[in-house]
Amino acid sequence: MELIFYKYQGTGNDFVMIDNRTKNFPKEKTAIFSKLSDRNFGIGADGIILIENDDKFDFKMIYYNADGSETFCGNGARCAVAFAKQLEIIDQKTKFIAVDGSHFAQISQGIVSLQMIDVDEIQVKENSVFVYTGTQHHVEMVDELNTYPVFENGKKIRYSYKNPGANINFVQQINDSTFRVRTYEKGVENETLACGTGVTAVAIAMHKTNKTNSKSIFLPVEGGNLEVSFAENNGIYTNVFLKGPAEFVFSGTFKI
The whole-angstrom separation of Cα 167 and Cα 182 is: 11
Confidence grade of residue 136 (pLDDT, cut at 50, 70, 90): very high
Catalytic entry in 107, 157, 195, 201: 195
| Cβ–Cβ under 8 Å, residues 12 and 195 | no
pLDDT greater than 90 at residue 126? yes
Domains of the chain in sequence order? 2-116+246-255 (3.10.310.10), 122-243 (3.10.310.10)
In angstroms, what is the C-alpha Rg of the chain?
A: 17
Confidence grade of residue 256 (pLDDT, cut at 50, 70, 90): confident
Outline where the chain has alpha helix (H): 31-37, 74-86, 150-158, 196-208
The whole-angstrom separation of Cα 235 and Cα 14 is: 33
Kindly state the average pLDDT of the residues 98-118: 97
Tens of pLDDT along 19-33?
999 999 999 898 999
How high does pLDDT run on average in the chain? Answer: 97
How far does the chain reach from its first CA to its final CA, in angstroms?
A: 5
| Catalytic status, residue 79 | no
Catalytic entry in 32, 73, 206, 217: 73
State the pLDDT at residue 1.
Answer: 86
